[in-house]
Amino acid sequence: MKVRLLGTAAGGGVPQWNCACDGCAAARRAGVARSQDCVAISGDQRSWYLLNASPDLRAQILSAPELAPGPGRRDTPIRGVLLSTAELDHALGLLTLREAEALSVYASATVLAALDGPLGLRRALAAYTDVSWQALAPGEDIHLNGGLRVCATVVGAKRPRYAADADGGDWVVAYRITDPRTGGVLVYAPCLPAFDPSLVEGADCALLDGTFLDEDEMVRATGGGRSATAMGHLPVSVSRRTLTRPGVRRLLYTHLNNTNPLAVGGGEDVAEDGLTLTL
Ligand code: MLT
Ligand code: MN
Ligand code: ZN
């Protein structure tokens, strides 16, 4: 399996356009730029799937040679998108894909209903392209073109702000992606309110929620906002402690918020835009 990290920042990116917090200022000084969380995966390097669709998707696709179109004039190796949440930083890129001739989008029933209801994105997109919307059943395997097998686990119930009144339970999922030919396993969990080590057991690489380093970081950095827990994100300082013997070969924190010092400082366990993995 080939994996390309297209973007590794939380909503707003790093630096955020309207933010002069210490983190954003440091990013501007250091010339650090992270685009919003999005990953491309493939089992055969011909069919590619996106894990989430970030608002930065057009630039992310253009910067990934694997995702270049051809050989036909409108051929694209991008076959579909698997959403892990209905959050805007994970779903708005679907609008950028409206030129596609066809697209498969997988998400939980709750997420599909939010995209249809309060956001109206499904109706809008239907006027441009032919989308096959597929409701995932947590715990059941999906078979992707190119040979990958994907299984979703519900990990959280945090609603996006635009869907504060919507019903449903499976708002946030994590994905376990397996390549049956190589045995390689990727776990993708960029929004993780609590950590259960069985989630990453046996994975060759786990992309975990790196939104915040500390619980009250956002409030301290911006003088507003909410705690990590209130936003459904387990702080890295807590998950690092929990993960002393994680049962996973490589762990990379992603979906880094611009208030998180790791977004500029980086580190051995911090994801970077453009990183590619072979699992
Ligand atoms: C989140 O990850 O908590 C959301 O994307 C926050 C947001 O940008 O609304
Ligand atoms: Mn987010
Ligand atoms: Zn900032």
Which tens digit of pLDDT belongs to each residue from 196-227?
989 999 999 999 999 999 999 999 998 888 99
**If pLDDT is split at 50, 70 and 90, which confidence band does 243 have?**
confident
CB atoms within 10 A of CB 109: 14
pLDDT > 70? residue 7? yes
CB 208 within 8 A of CB 190: yes
Over residues 118-161, the pLDDT tens digits come to 999 999 999 999 999 999 999 999 999 999 999 999 999 999 99
Average pLDDT of the segment spanning 13-27: 96
Find the ligand nearest to 12 CA. 1
CATH assignment of 2-278, among 1.20.1050.90, 3.60.15.10, 3.30.565.10, 3.80.10.10: 3.60.15.10
Find the ligand nearest to 161 CA. 1
User: In a mutational test of the pocket of ligand 1, which residue from 89, 222, 229 has the highest number of ligand atoms less than 8 Å from its CB?
Assistant: 89
Q: For residue 158, which atom of ligand 1 is closest to its CA?
A: 3
Domain chopping of the chain, boundaries:
2-278
Q: For residue 87, which atom of ligand 1 is closest to its CA?
A: 5
Over residues 98-111, the pLDDT tens digits come to 999 999 999 999 99
CA distance 49 to 67: 10
Task: List CB contacts of 51: < 8 A, sequence separation 6 or more.
Answer: 38, 39, 40, 41, 81, 82, 84, 175, 188
